[in-house]
């Protein structure tokens, strides 16, 4: 599951990349990183190369972005599993306050806490 998550398209973050010795730079959008290679989009072309060819800072940044993408994919999967559960189905008509009005809201990740309030009159 993690490997598939890492293969997801990145967030399209354009940045300046540097080679390992810092002598050359180029502009490109981060697409993905699998831990040994990185894919960057330049214009309409995607280029994949070894991660070790980048500067140490760029390597760390690419690996961190890959972890974020994987976590986001796992959260979406967990939210979908929760939404399909019996308890999760009760959240189908979930709304949130947006400014001064309520709007429909879809869970992007499963809730960490649920507050249940029960009141009875005897």
pLDDT at residue number 5: 36
pTM check: above 0.85? no
Distance separating alpha carbons of residues 111 and 68, to the nearest angstrom: 19
Report yes or no: 108 and 83 within 8 Å, Cβ to Cβ.
Answer: no
pLDDT at residue number 13: 67
Distance separating alpha carbons of residues 107 and 39, to the nearest angstrom: 30
pLDDT in tens, the chain (122 residues): 344 333 334 445 689 999 999 899 999 999 989 989 999 999 899 999 999 999 999 999 999 999 988 888 887 888 788 778 887 777 777 788 899 999 988 777 777 777 777 788 77
């Amino acid at each position: 599951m993690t490997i598939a998550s890492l293969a997801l398209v990145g967030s399209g973050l354009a940045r300046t990349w540097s080679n390992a010795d810092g002598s050359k730079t180029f502009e490109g959008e981060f697409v993905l990183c699998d831990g040994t290679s990185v894919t960057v989009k330049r214009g309409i072309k995607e280029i994949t190369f070894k991660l070790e060819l980048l500067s140490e800072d760029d390597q760390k940044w690419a690996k961190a972005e890959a972890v974020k993408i994987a976590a986001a994919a796992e959260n979406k999967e967990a939210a979908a599993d929760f939404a399909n559960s019996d308890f999760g189905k009760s959240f189908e008509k979930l709304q949130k306050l947006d400014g001064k009005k309520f709007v429909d809201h879809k869970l992007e990740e499963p809730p960490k806490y649920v507050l249940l309030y029960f009141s009875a009159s005897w």
